[in-house]
Chain A
Amino acid sequence: GEDVEQSLFLSVREGDSSVINCTYTDSSSTYLYWYKQEPGAGLQLLTYIFSNMDMKQDQRLTVLLNKKDKHLSLRIADTQTGDSAIYFCAESVEGGSYIPTFGRGTSLIVHP
């Protein structure tokens, strides 16, 4: 299987919360990231979490890490149409020079 896995699509109504899930295989992952990619654009780092943390909150974004299950999630509160994008989960390890390994990305569609 792939090193980082995430579901391909998520559709939510504007104003609802979105939860994007990700699983990874490398137990030595040091950093876990969430990137956002808008159509035809490069990647923008949204947030990251150290592997020794369980949760990180940044305004509307909440990242939860379950290290035992190697499960990472990104919750977007009060989802807006501008949040429609592809969200990539990624992980990096110290031995890998901190170069992220990306999942396939989850397409988030926000409808009115």
Chain B
Amino acid sequence: GAVVSQHPSWVICKSGTSVKIECRSLDFQATTMFWYRQFPKQSLMLMATSNEGSKATYEQGVEKDKFLINHASLTLSTLTVTSAHPEDSSFYICSARSGWNEQFFGPGTRLTVL
């Protein structure tokens, strides 16, 4: 299957700082990318859907000013957690797909905010 990478795989930051997570589709052009958040022993919660070149669509309850999503190219989307707080600590997973094809998931980024 296609490969989706995320960078960094884990990050620890101080409260109040901003953290950027990158998601790349390595061998296909991703017209749509998705960002999920996963709490321990919980399901994946869809945060937002982004189409290349347009603004992201956020799910209800997700603050767009806190979780900035940029999908500037067909192979890269970034999620920036602004002014991070300990409650933002979580496992963030991105996925990507081309058209209506299968979604391919990245390996996830573990964010810990101290």
Contacts and interface: CB of A to CB of B under 8 A. Distances in A.
Tell me if chain B binds chain A.
yes
Interface of A: 2, 4, 8, 35, 40-45, 88, 97-100, 102-105
Contacts of A44: 1, 105
Which secondary structure dominates chain A's binding surface? Answer: loop
B108 A102 contact: no
B41 A43 contact: no
Interface residues of B, number: 21
A1 to B, nearest CB: 13
20 contacts: A4-B43, A8-B41, A35-B105, A40-B110, A41-B107, A42-B4, A42-B105, A42-B108, A43-B44, A43-B93, A43-B105, A44-B1, A45-B103, A88-B43, A88-B44, A99-B34, A99-B46, A104-B41, A104-B42, A104-B43
Contacts of A4: 43
B99 to A, nearest CB: 10
A83 to B, nearest CB: 19
B108 A41 contact: yes
Interface string B84-114: 0000000001010000101111111010000
Nearest to A92: B103
